[in-house]
C-alpha cells in the first residue's frame, strides 16, 4: 500500500507541469488502487477497467484509457480525446459525446480508443555505424517495454524493459511472397 500512497503523492508534482487535466483522472484511479490494496475493492471499478459491460464493442472505453494522456506514435501523437468526457461510475456514459452516425456500431464507441492508437511503449533512435573498413550501416536502437514475465512462485506479472539493436526498416514496404 505504501507504494501506491507514494505514487498518489507524486501525482501532485505531475500536475505542476500543466497536466492537471490528466492528474484529475489519475487521482481517482490511484485512490481506488489504495482502497483495493487495503482490502476494500470496488467491483464496479475492476469491471470497468477495459470496457464497462454497458459499452462492449471494438473500442476501449474503460478507465485504463485514462492512463494514456496521449495517443499514437510520434510525430502524430495527440492528446487523447477521452478526457473530453466525464466518467460516471468509472465509465463514459454511452449517451454522452458526439453523434457520429452509423460509423459507430455501438452506443458510446465514438468516445473510446482503438487499441492500435495506444502508444507502443517503445522508442527508437536511428544510429549510423561506421566500421574501420570504411563501410557503414544504419540500425535502430530500440528500447522500452518489450515483454511481460510471470513469477513462477506468486504468479505476479512484471514488465520486461530492455533495449536492442534492430535492422532499420526499409523506406518502402517490401512485398514478401
* Domain residue extents for the chain: 2-117, 122-167
Separation CA 48–CA 51 (nearest Å): 6
Give the pTM: 0.69
Average of per-residue pLDDT across 129-147:
92
Query: So what's the pLDDT on residue 75?
Result: 78
Query: Residue 152's pLDDT is what?
Result: 94
77 near 71, Cβ under 8 Å?
A: yes
Q: Rounding to the nearest 10 degrees, give the CA dihedral for residues 34, 39, 45, 51.
A: 100
Residue 13's pLDDT band (cuts 50, 70, 90) = very high
Amino acid at each position: 500500500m505504501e507504494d501506491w500512497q507514494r505514487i498518489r503523492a507524486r501525482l501532485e508534482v505531475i500536475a505542476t507541469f500543466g497536466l492537471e487535466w490528466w492528474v484529475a483522472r489519475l487521482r481517482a484511479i490511484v485512490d481506488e488502487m489504495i482502497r483495493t490494496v487495503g482490502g476494500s475493492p470496488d467491483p464496479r471499478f475492476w469491471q470497468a477497467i477495459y470496457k464497462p459491460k454497458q459499452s462492449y464493442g471494438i473500442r476501449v472505453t474503460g478507465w485504463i484509457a485514462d492512463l494514456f494522456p496521449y495517443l499514437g506514435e510520434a510525430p502524430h501523437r495527440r492528446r487523447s480525446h477521452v478526457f473530453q468526457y466525464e466518467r460516471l461510475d468509472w465509465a463514459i456514459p454511452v449517451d454522452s459525446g458526439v453523434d457520429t452516425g452509423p460509423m459507430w456500431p455501438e452506443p458510446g464507441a465514438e468516445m473510446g480508443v482503438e487499441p492500435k492508437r495506444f502508444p507502443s511503449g517503445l522508442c527508437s533512435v536511428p544510429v549510423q555505424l561506421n566500421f574501420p573498413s570504411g563501410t557503414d550501416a544504419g540500425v535502430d536502437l530500440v528500447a522500452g517495454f518489450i515483454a511481460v514475465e510471470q513469477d513462477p512462485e506468486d504468479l505476479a506479472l512484471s514488465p520486461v524493459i530492455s533495449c536492442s539493436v534492430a535492422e532499420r526498416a526499409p523506406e518502402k514496404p517490401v512485398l514478401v511472397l
